[in-house]
């Protein structure tokens, strides 16, 4: 059997090249690990506490056990043309050990609002009675809504209250309802 030296040299060159490539491709690396144990849940620094009207608006269980959520699900029906005011719907307390910033905003509004309500105003009020930031103003179309209080500073150990004012239209339909969800960002 005759060996073709040109072919042999080409095959040998390809074999050497592939070996070089395989050695160059085999890289070494070091592994690093990060462990985070345990990750536990603490208490909130800023939280809801009952105000004078909280039970009337949401019952005895209106505020969850962590103080991070309040549900007003026992508001009695607002009569046509009535203006209903809850001066102290719920309070917000800061026990975080430092000043914090609050920003309350309208998250959602569902139901037959435009047909049945003139407005809903929601205001954060300091302990001295001063309104803070902007009042959230929910108005029927084509009204101009104000959907955020803007940033409000709350010093450590302070408690602010949230005031609700609800006005039904004189032409409101009995049995109609709405749902309002507000979000309070704390930073």
pLDDT value, residue 24: 63
pLDDT value, residue 2: 62
pLDDT value, residue 3: 64
Rounded (to 5) percent helix, strand, coil in the chain: 15, 40, 45
Query: What strands lie across the sheet with 152-154, from one edge to the other?
Result: 152-154, 100-111, 178-186
pLDDT by 10s per residue, the chain, length 187: 566 777 777 888 888 887 767 666 666 667 888 999 999 999 999 999 999 999 999 999 999 999 999 999 999 999 999 999 999 999 999 999 999 999 999 999 999 999 999 999 999 999 999 999 999 999 987 778 999 999 999 999 999 999 999 999 999 999 999 999 999 999 9
User: For 103, which DSSP code?
Assistant: E
Other C-beta atoms lying within 10 Å of the C-beta of residue 173: 11
Helical segments of the chain, H only: 5-25, 54-58, 113-116
- 46-50 and 152-154: which strand pairing? unpaired
Other C-beta atoms lying within 10 Å of the C-beta of residue 52: 13
Q: Where are the domains of the chain?
A: 46-186
pTM over 0.85: no
Place of tokens 């085999």: 26
The domain 46-186 having CATH identifier 2.60.120: the answer here is yes
Other C-beta atoms lying within 10 Å of the C-beta of residue 55: 14
pLDDT value, residue 21: 73
pLDDT value, residue 11: 81
DSSP string of 120-171, one letter each residue? EEEEEE-TTS-EEEEEEEE--TTS--B-B---EEE-TT-EEEEEEEEEE-TT
Place of tokens 């049995």: 175
Q: Which of 90, 65, 56, 86 is nearest to 161 (CA)?
A: 90
Residue 156 · residue 101 · CB < 8 Å = no
């Amino acid at each position: 059997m005759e060996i073709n030296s040109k072919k042999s040299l080409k095959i040998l060159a390809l074999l050497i090249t592939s070996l070089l490539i395989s050695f160059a491709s085999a890289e070494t690396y070091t592994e690093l690990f990060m462990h985070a144990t345990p990750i536990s849940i603490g208490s909130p620094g800023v939280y809801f506490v009952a105000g004078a009207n909280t039970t009337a608006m949401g019952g005895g269980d209106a505020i969850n056990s962590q103080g991070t959520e309040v549900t007003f699900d026992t508001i009695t029906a607002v009569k046509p043309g009535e203006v209903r005011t809850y001066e102290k719907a719920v309070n917000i307390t800061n026990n975080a050990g430092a000043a914090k910033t609050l920003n309350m905003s309208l998250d959602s509004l569902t139901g037959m609002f435009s047909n049945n309500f003139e407005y809903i105003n929601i205001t954060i009020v300091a302990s001295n009675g001063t309104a803070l930031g902007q009042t959230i103003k929910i108005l029927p179309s084509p009204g101009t809504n104000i959907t955020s209080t803007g940033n409000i500073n709350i010093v450590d150990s302070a408690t602010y209250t949230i005031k609700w004012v609800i006005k039904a239209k004189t032409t409101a339909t009995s049995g109609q309802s709405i749902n309002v969800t507000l979000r309070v960002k704390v930073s």
